[in-house]
Amino acid sequence: MVSDRVRRNLASEFRSSVLAKLGVVLVLLVVFVAIFAPFVAPHNPTTQDLDNAERPPLGIVQTEERTTSEMVDGEVQTVTETVTIRPDAAHPLGTDGLGRDMLSRVIYGARTSLIVGVLGTVLAATVGVPIGLIAGYYRGRIDDGLMRFADVSLAFPSLVLAIALIGLWGRASVAVPDPFVAAGFAQEMPATFVLPGTVIVVVGVVNWVWFARIARGEALSLRDQEYVKAARALGADDGRIIAGHVLPNAITPIIVLGTVQVAAIILLESSLSFLGFSGTTLSWGFDISQGRDYVSSGQWWIAGMPGLAIMVAVIGINLIGDWLRDALDPGIQGEGGA
């Protein structure tokens, strides 16, 4: 499926591009952290510790004016004192308003983002690619129908469609046992992990059109290739031709689109959880929505840290997408929005 020429192009582009290397490092980091979250996270991300709430990240000392009133001799006396909150080495990225460790929350948030990003993309591709291939291969009515439908679904912005669907369907989620904790490791960590099922289905549903469009375009040009014609002349049935000849040659742009889509879906998922349309509370977007209330009082890190985490993950994936695009040059640019 991947020819030597493709492999050579990938390798030489990788060697010459600093950004491609950076992308791979960032993505590997996020993937590692997401998989081994129970071992990497210093605390249970859901454990509250109100005595340790609103602690700033390392290197930052927060001062806060606290006003207390008490009755002294029948009169109200207001005492204003400046409280200094120092960082705690146990919480390198600080703690949130309920004293939960930000670093651990960011680490567990990576799991949600990656799972939704990858499963959502796989779902979108599984739906979109076959439909696109069939439409492009047979052309005619099926193709017209698909293109008209694609035009209509593009008229609904992904985010709007997603929140509408979640609003109508409700937000179901599944608690999946954490395999490491179940196997007896890291017992202090959460025993289950919440998989936001509706969100995964919805982001898949709203993004399949991009895959269908790409697959259709490829199938349209591939159906007239000599080897496809030859296979047809030899009497191979259409299903076999599409699976055996068209799909393998259309795979490159689909992979590049898939990469970009993972990034787009991570952004979409964070938007959904920010707006409260996710089924889980362990998510970067959700933490940002929590942290938003603290922005005016100065605890910027509660919203800031998860946002930086999103940037790291999405920049990494986009860099890999650029690398693949430069090396494979499938001629798609800027398609596949969030």
Contact in structure between 200 and 166 (CB atoms under 8 Å): no
Tell which one of 318, 320, 327, 328 touches other proteins (CB under 8 A).
Answer: 318
Closest-CA residue to 257 (of 162, 146, 333): 333
Binding segment toward other proteins, per CB under 8 A, in 66-74, 98-106, 121-129, 270-278:
270-278
* Footprint (CB under 8 A) of other proteins, residues 137-156: 148-149, 151-156
CB of 298 to other proteins, least distance (A): 8
- How close are the terminal C-alpha atoms of the chain, in Å? 29
Site track for other proteins across 57-96, x = CB under 8 A: ----------------------------------------
Tokens standing for residue 258:
């898939």
> Binding marks (x or -) toward other proteins, 1..30, rule CB under 8 A?
---------------x--x-----------
Q: Which of 288, 320, 324, 328 binds other proteins (CB under 8 A)?
A: 288
Q: Please write down the HEC assignment for all residues of the chain.
A: CCCHHHHHHHHHHHHHCHHHHHHHHHHHHHHHHHHCHHHHCCCCCCCCCHHHCCCCCCCCCEEEEEEEEEEECCEEEEEEEEEEECCCCCCCCCECCCCCEHHHHHHHHHHHHHHHHHHHHHHHHHHHHHHHHHHHHHCHHHHHHHHHHHHHHHCCCHHHHHHHHHHHHCCCCEEEECHHHHCCCCCCCCCEEEECHHHHHHHHHHHHHHHHHHHHHHHHHHCCCHHHHHHHHCCCCHHHHHHHHHHHHHHHHHHHHHHHHHHHHHHHHHHHHHCCCCCCCCCHHHHHHHHHHHCCCCCCHHHHHHHHHHHHHHHHHHHHHHHHHHHHCCCCCCCCCC
Q: How far is the CB of 197 from other proteins (least distance, A)?
A: 15
For residue 304, the minimal CB distance to other proteins (Å) is 7
Residue 151 or 188: the one with the smaller Cβ distance to other proteins is 151
Nearer to other proteins, 45 or 291 (CB): 291
Q: Least distance in Å: CB of 4 to other proteins?
A: 15
List the one residue out of 282, 272, 266 whose CA is nearest residue 318: 266
Counting contacts by CB under 8 A, is residue 98 touching other proteins?
no
- Cβ 90 to other proteins shortest distance, Å: 25
Residue with Cβ nearer other proteins (166 or 189) = 166
Q: Which of 42, 157, 177, 179 binds other proteins (CB under 8 A)?
A: 157
What's the min distance (Å) between Cβ of 22 and other proteins? 10
Q: Is there binding between residue 168 and other proteins (CB under 8 A)?
A: yes
Among 188, 238, 329, 335, binds other proteins (CB under 8 A): 335
Shortest spacing between CB 87 and other proteins, in angstroms: 19
Binding site for other proteins (CB under 8 A): 16, 19, 148-149, 151-160, 163-164, 166-170, 263, 267, 270-271, 274-275, 285, 288, 291-292, 295-296, 300, 303-304, 306-307, 310-311, 314-315, 318-319, 333-335, 337-338
